[in-house]
Amino acid sequence: MSSIINLDKIKGLVYTEKSNISSSNGRYTFEVDSSCNKSEIKSLIKKIYNVDVKNVNIINTKPKSRRFKGINGYTSKVKKAIIKLKENQTINFA
């Protein structure tokens, strides 16, 4: 039986000042699909990057109202996963 990895669930790495500081402590922030749960994210990160995941925290950001040229609109909602790796493990993105 072949194991197929669904890469569509993980949208990408979040590059912010806060996430870059926490990456030195073994915590990485990813933007994930809104239908993912913690166990799915944990297994996907383990398969894709070959690292041991200690825990997963989820952040659901609500859409915010914005105005553009007098028209009201909303930003997209985003689900982020903060991954904590076990000791002495890092993810190499190069």
Q: Supply the pLDDT for residue 9.
A: 86
Model confidence pLDDT, tens digit, residues 31-83: 999 999 999 999 999 998 999 999 999 999 999 999 999 999 999 999 999 99
CA distances from 32 to 5, 38, 45, 48, 86 (A): 14, 10, 11, 14, 21
What are 80's two structure tokens? Answer: 């982020």
Q: Which residue has the higher pLDDT, 2 or 84?
A: 84
What pTM, to 2 d.p., does this model score?
Answer: 0.81
What 12-19 contacts at long range (C-beta under 8 Å, 24+ apart), as own/partner pairs, is 13/93, 14/80
Instruction: Return the SS3 of 69.
Output: coil
